[in-house]
């Protein structure tokens, strides 16, 4: 997998900011922990965990791309690349509390990946900045673990797959200390909304032999569709809506869990015909280490 030219190597500590903290220069803004109203940030934590606000989206962008956006969540950097904050998640793994902020970057004039740009036209590069909680209960801190400007690519028309905020992200830890993350997405094209899960692998201790660093994109899997915008209340075609429920199964030979998607609702079975989806319509995906993707 291609690596980012933009990944940072320096470790920084993002301190928990007080209400009276003032915005300063770009470096100071990169170390504040205020979040603001950002719908694509989730917290999944135990009740006993010390509350710690995640780094702000603009600071995530600054740390990955080293360009100040003056508080914006989308802006242009070198080479005409448009970078955007995409999604953030706080989670626990092996007794540690982490936060990862994901970003996207368009190809621009030279492309944010290695030479040759994106693997597919219209894709965007996925970047990430990951932090681990340190300090103590009285003064918790975020310590930067790693930034990476390229952990994979996805999307269409120079945009990332939109996060579906009506569904929750899901994740599963593996026996060897890795974590599979499924972020719900929803793409709309030709009157049909397609629900999916974008899959990522977190490998904090670098235990696997995959080509990416601590995070890697493992592809996306389908999880239902809705043609309501195209069917015109059944006048153009049958209206069909289906939903998918994701479940993590036992590990495969790769050590990563088998994924199943149970489908419910209706699908088009032929001209003017619908059929109910049932248990036999479920989808099963297994990780293919050679392809670096989950596949049916």
Out of 159, 194, 215, a domain closes at 159
Q: Within this chain, do residues 38 and 129 fall inside the same structural domain, yes or no?
A: yes
Flag residues of the chain having pLDDT under 50: 1-39, 45-49, 111-116
Q: Within this chain, do residues 97 and 6 fall inside the same structural domain, yes or no?
A: yes
Render pLDDT for 274-296 as a digit per residue (tens, 0 to 9): 999 999 999 999 999 999 999 99
Residue 294 belongs to what domain range?
A: 161-296
Q: Within this chain, do residues 22 and 78 fall inside the same structural domain, yes or no?
A: yes
Give the bridge partners for 142, in sequence order.
Answer: 14, 133
Q: Within this chain, do residues 145 and 179 fall inside the same structural domain, yes or no?
A: no
Q: Within this chain, do residues 223 and 90 fall inside the same structural domain, yes or no?
A: no
List Cα–Cα distances, 264 to 107, 165, 186, in angstroms. 38, 20, 17
Out of 105, 139, 159, a domain closes at 159
Q: What is the pTM of this model?
A: 0.82
Report the number of distinct structural domains present in the chain. 2
Q: Within this chain, do residues 24 and 51 fall inside the same structural domain, yes or no?
A: yes
Q: Within this chain, do residues 285 and 143 fall inside the same structural domain, yes or no?
A: no
Q: Within this chain, do residues 207 and 60 fall inside the same structural domain, yes or no?
A: no
Q: Within this chain, do residues 138 and 46 fall inside the same structural domain, yes or no?
A: yes
Q: Within this chain, do residues 18 and 108 fall inside the same structural domain, yes or no?
A: yes
15: its two tokens: 């301190």
Q: Within this chain, do residues 154 and 173 fall inside the same structural domain, yes or no?
A: no
Q: Within this chain, do residues 103 and 217 fall inside the same structural domain, yes or no?
A: no
């Amino acid at each position: 997998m291609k690596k980012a030219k933009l990944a940072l190597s320096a470790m920084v500590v993002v301190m928990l900011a007080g209400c009276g903290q003032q915005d300063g220069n770009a470096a100071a803004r990169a170390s504040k922990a205020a979040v603001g109203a950002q719908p694509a940030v989730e917290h999944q934590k135990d009740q006993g965990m010390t509350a710690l606000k995640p780094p702000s989206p603009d600071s995530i962008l600054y740390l990955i791309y080293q360009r100040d956006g003056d508080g914006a969540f989308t802006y242009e950097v070198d080479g005409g690349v448009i970078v955007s904050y995409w999604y953030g998640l706080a989670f626990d793994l092996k007794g540690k509390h982490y936060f990862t902020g994901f970003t996207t970057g368009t190809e621009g004039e030279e492309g944010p990946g290695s030479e040759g740009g994106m693997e597919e036209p219209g894709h965007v590069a996925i970047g990430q900045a990951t932090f681990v909680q340190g300090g103590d209960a009285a003064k918790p801190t975020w310590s930067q673990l790693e930034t990476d400007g390229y952990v994979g690519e996805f999307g269409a028309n120079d945009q990332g797959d939109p996060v579906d905020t009506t569904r929750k992200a899901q994740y599963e830890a593996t026996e060897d200390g890795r974590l599979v993350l499924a972020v719900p997405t929803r793409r709309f094209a030709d009157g049909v909304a397609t629900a999916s899960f974008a899959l990522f692998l977190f490998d904090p201790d670098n235990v696997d032999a995959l080509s990416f660093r601590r995070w890697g994109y493992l592809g996306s899997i389908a999880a239902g569709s809705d043609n309501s915008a195209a069917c015109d209340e059944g006048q153009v075609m049958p209206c069909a809506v289906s939903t998918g429920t994701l479940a993590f199964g036992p590990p495969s030979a790769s050590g990563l869990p088998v994924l199943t998607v149970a489908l419910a609702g209706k699908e088009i079975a032929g001209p003017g015909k619908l059929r109910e989806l049932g248990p036999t319509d479920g989808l099963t995906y297994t990780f293919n280490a050679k392809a670096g993707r989950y596949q049916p």
